[in-house]
């Protein structure tokens, strides 16, 4: 098969695939890459191999690095999505919109959540289906909840990301699957000074 034939075949296939299917494949692929990398970087603490943090000393350093990495990611991602979609963030209802758009972009259509509350002062989200958590379960990594960034990384990403946009917004992760809860729940509050 020539390069032109391969290109035509690929383009034809992509045109036949529904957008939802392409989006799901992309989301799942990126999720799996992230999970594999996280597990690989954390395995020295499980005594399985050398991982990339093997030269660092102790669990506290691992935790510190994860907080910095996810904080920085949130500080970059939320302002980027806010500007891209022109979403104002002047109250918790706006926070709900930005959270929804950003979560879909990061996790694809397999991410499912309930918006429990959205009033100007407070927004509450309950994650009912998370592609990251499902991948950790598939890899039998949920027995090491301290390695999974769903808790620490998730909290750093949300808290620092929204703080970068508007310091009046606070974030609390009130429920978390790595802590044994049946779902994750985020509370965003908008505090007037």
Sign of CA dihedral 127, 128, 129, 134: positive
DSSP label of 176: -
Mean pLDDT within 165-169: 91
Q: Which domain CATH number covers 10?
A: 3.30.1380
| pLDDT score for 152 | 78
Domains contained in the chain, number? 1
Shortest CA distance to 118 belongs to which of 190, 38, 41? Answer: 190
Output Rg (C-alpha) for the chain, integer angstroms: 19
- Each residue of 28-59: pLDDT tens digit? 666 656 655 665 555 444 444 444 444 445 55
| Least trusted range by pLDDT, from 7-16, 46-55, 61-70, 84-93 | 46-55
DSSP 8-72: HHHHHHHHHS-HHHHHHHHHHHHHHHHHHHHHHHHGGGGTS--TTTTTS-HHHHHHHHHHHHHHH
Q: Is the per-residue pLDDT at 21 higher than 70? A: no
Of all residues in the chain, what percent carry a pLDDT higher than 70?
62
d(CA 154, CA 170): 14
**What burial letters (b/e) apply to 100-110, b meaning 16+ CB within 10 Å?**
bbbbeebbbee
pLDDT for the residue numbered 49: 47
On whether the CB atoms of residues 120 and 91 are closer than 8 A, the answer is yes
The residue whose two tokens read 């690929």 is 10
Note the residue count of the chain.
193
Average pLDDT for residues 83-110, to the nearest whole number? 86
Angstrom distance (rounded) from CA 92 to CA 167: 12
For residue 188, name the pLDDT band (cuts at 50, 70, 90).
very high
Range in 22-36, 113-127, 144-158 with the lowest mean pLDDT:
22-36
**Mean pLDDT score of the chain, rounded to an integer?**
76
- Domain limits for position 12: 3-190
pLDDT for position 54: 42
Residue 177 pLDDT class (50, 70, 90 cuts) = confident
* pLDDT tens column, 125-141: 999 888 878 877 777 76
Query: How far is the C-alpha of 15 from the C-alpha of 34, rounded, in Å?
Result: 28
pTM for this model (two decimals) = 0.69
pLDDT > 90? residue 103: no
């Amino acid at each position: 098969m020539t390069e032109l034939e391969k290109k035509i075949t690929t383009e034809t296939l992509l045109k036949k695939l529904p957008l939802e299917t392409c989006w799901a494949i992309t989301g799942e692929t990126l999720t799996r890459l992230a999970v594999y990398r996280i597990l690989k970087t954390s395995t020295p603490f499980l005594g399985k191999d050398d991982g990339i943090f093997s030269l660092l000393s102790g669990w506290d350093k691992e935790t510190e690095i994860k907080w910095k990495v996810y904080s920085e990611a949130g500080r970059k991602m939320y302002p980027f999505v806010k500007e891209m979609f022109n979403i104002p963030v002047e109250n918790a209802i706006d926070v709900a919109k930005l959270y929804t758009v950003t979560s879909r972009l990061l996790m694809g259509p397999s991410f499912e959540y309930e918006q429990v509350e959205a009033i100007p002062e407070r927004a509450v989200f309950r994650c009912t289906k998370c592609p990251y958590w499902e991948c950790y379960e598939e890899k039998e990594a949920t027995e090491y909840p301290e390695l999974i960034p769903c808790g620490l990384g998730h909290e750093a990403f949300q808290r620092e990301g929204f703080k970068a946009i508007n310091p009046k917004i606070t974030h609390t992760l009130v429920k978390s699957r790595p802590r044994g809860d049946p779902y994750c729940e985020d509370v965003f509050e908008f505090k007037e000074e």
